[in-house]
Amino acid sequence: MPNKTAASLNANRSSLVHKVRYALRNPGKVVPYVRRSARDWKLRMTHRDHVDYYRAVMASDAARDPRAAVGSQSEERWLALGRMQFDYLVEHGLEPGHRMLDIGCGNLRAGWRLIDYLDEGGYYGIDISPDILIAAKGVLAERGLQSKLPHLTITRDLTFSFLPEGRFDVVHAHSVFSHSPIEVIDEALANVGRILAPGGFFDFTFDRTEGEEHQVLREDFYYRTGTLVALAEKHGLDARFMDDWEERPHGQSKIRVTVRAPDNGAD
């Protein structure tokens, strides 16, 4: 995973200049990029809504390789990325007795470790892709974790309307907002406070830029930290950039959100 540099954090990957320079440095990736662009264009023509579009992207990717569909090009990388997420959460407050909501749980790259760690019934995973959730059930069986009774549920949006108030100590979204337009992130932040238990937190990763915010193929979205912090604050949440996550070998950045304590005023 590439390190974040001043150049990478200021690059506009949607610009023609960037694409030409990247193609010249990586000629072997030109044909796969063109094929993916053509595939994505066809999917956008038939799926105008972003969630429908990205569900179709995931179905296409999962048909080839469920692990690659969630961003892991090998078994070794799949395990390493799952371990990285798990270790960070445990080091930063996750306890076995907690109830956890894993947004975009995928094929349980981190989820199987979390299910094993949490008490029975403590894990609730949601995803927009039925194909990926079928793969997740396969991983659950492979790991022999059926007795932990995790919940794995399909969802269409991030309103969390089917979940009870104050239910989750930890909400987690890894590599979800990196694939989401701002209105999807806004929807999640507008509703996550309702389902967080007192003292709970919401960790999410995002593709960070310090230059112009942009997207590539409507699959990868790059945001400034301040944009997402301000969005959280608009919904009565406190947001903190997790500096120590930057030390991990991962290309995305991380923010932790908590419900803002009520201001009772001072006499």
**HEC letters along 119-151:** CCCCEEEEECCHHHHHHHHHHHHHCCCHHHCCE
Asked if residue 250 lies in contact with residue 1, where contact means CB atoms within 8 angstroms, the answer is: yes
CATH of the domain at 189: 3.40.50.150
Asked if residue 185 lies in contact with residue 177, where contact means CB atoms within 8 angstroms, the answer is: yes
- Does residue 265 lie in a domain region? no
Mean pLDDT for the stretch of residues 218-223: 92
- Does residue 25 lie in a domain region? yes
Q: If pLDDT is split at 50, 70 and 90, which confidence band does 193 have?
A: very high
Per-residue pLDDT, 72: 61
3-state secondary structure of 27: helix
- Does residue 264 lie in a domain region? no
Global pTM exceeds 0.75 = yes
Residue predicted with more confidence, 21 or 160? 160
Q: If pLDDT is split at 50, 70 and 90, which confidence band does 26 have?
A: confident
Contacts of 16 (CB under 8 A, 6+ apart): none
- Does residue 250 lie in a domain region? yes
Number of domains into which the chain is organized: 1
Mean pLDDT for the stretch of residues 189-203: 98
- Does residue 1 lie in a domain region? no
- Does residue 266 lie in a domain region? no
The parent domain of residue 124 ranges over 6-259
- Does residue 101 lie in a domain region? yes
Phi–psi pair at 167, nearest 5 degrees = -85, -35
Query: Is the pLDDT at 61 greater than 60, yes or no?
Result: yes
Specify the range with the lowest mean pLDDT, choosing from 24-33, 54-63, 89-98. Answer: 54-63
Alpha-carbon distance of 19 to 16, in angstroms, equals 5
Terminal C-alpha separation, the chain: 53
Contacts of 38 (CB under 8 A, 6+ apart): none
Asked if residue 215 lies in contact with residue 221, where contact means CB atoms within 8 angstroms, the answer is: yes
Q: If pLDDT is split at 50, 70 and 90, which confidence band does 73 have?
A: low
- Does residue 145 lie in a domain region? yes
